[in-house]
Amino acid sequence: MNSNLKLMLVEDHNIVRQGLKSLLEDRGFEISGETDNGRDAIAMAGEKLPDVIIMDIGLPKLRGIEAARKIKKEHPRIKIIMLTIHTNEKYIYESLDAGVDAYLAKETASDDLVEAISAVMKGEIYIGSNFPGDILDNYGKLKRVGKKGDEFSRLTNREKEILQHIAEGLTSQRIAEELFLSRKTVDNHRANIMKKLNLHDTASLVRYAVRIGLVDSV
């Protein structure tokens, strides 16, 4: 299996990324690309067309879940494994909604990662062994009743992207330039975000983003 598979790594901590690269290359996998942010991951996925992307959730410029959603929309054949510190079930459900094929905690054993790669290439959904065995059943039940997890799920994908940029300290003008939008459009999105989250200033938005793990502490 290993010799013909191309893997891509998306991890903003260089030491972790290099460790993963070494581990996977020792197992015979080819690393065809690597980057440290979600925005570049989308472009690189289209350029490299890897078989599997191993991606963190907490990424600069664009969170891993949003990047995964965009990649899956443009390249549904690419398998995506989320490898993250986040163990709360809501992150698993949100990742599955984005089309992610596997979800692993970073403390997982190396054998679990190799097993996940094998599973997703067979078309299976893989959840790390350190998570409850009924995760997928619970997710199916939530989907059937159409339950939304929390207020964050009420934001559109664009609003989530803009919220991350706000929390990273970008001004509306800078966000407009980054996303090729008008300043007015960004301000309208900002107002909608505040309304949906019942928050009333930038500081509150930043604290909220940190609390839910959208960005690291600032």
User: DSSP string covering 61-120, please?
Assistant: SS-HHHHHHHHHHH-TTSEEEEEES---HHHHHHHHHTT-SEEEETTS-HHHHHHHHHHH
**Rounded Cα distance, 194 and 179, in Å:** 19
The 10s digit of each residue's pLDDT in 116-149 is 999 999 999 999 887 877 777 777 766 665 555 5
**Rounded Cα distance, 55 and 67, in Å:** 9
Q: What is the pLDDT of residue 93?
A: 86
Q: Which whole number is the average pLDDT over 14-31?
A: 92
% of the chain exceeding 90 in pLDDT: 56
Q: What is the pLDDT of residue 87?
A: 82
Q: Which whole number is the average pLDDT over 60-81?
A: 94
Q: Structural domains in the chain? A: 2-145 (3.40.50.2300), 151-211 (1.10.10.10)
- Residue 95 in this model has a pLDDT that exceeds 60: yes
% of the chain exceeding 70 in pLDDT: 92
Tokens coding 134: 């009924």
Q: What is the pLDDT of residue 214?
A: 78
DSSP strands (E only) in 117-164: 126-127
The CA-based angle 42-118-80, given to 5 degrees, is 15
**Average confidence score pLDDT of the chain:** 88
Residues with Cβ within 8 Å of 146's Cβ and at least 6 positions away in sequence, in order, are: none
* pTM score of the predicted model: 0.76
In the sheet that holds 102-105, the strands lie side by side as 30-35, 6-10, 52-55, 79-84, 102-105, 126-127
Q: What is the pLDDT of residue 151?
A: 75
Q: Which whole number is the average pLDDT over 7-15?
A: 94
Q: Which of 164, 192, 165, 160 is nearest to 176 (CA)?
A: 165
pLDDT band at 69 (very low <50, low <70, confident <90, very high): very high
Residues across the chain: 218
The 10s digit of each residue's pLDDT in 167-216 is 889 999 999 998 899 999 999 999 999 998 889 899 989 988 888 777 76
**Rounded Cα distance, 148 and 127, in Å:** 21
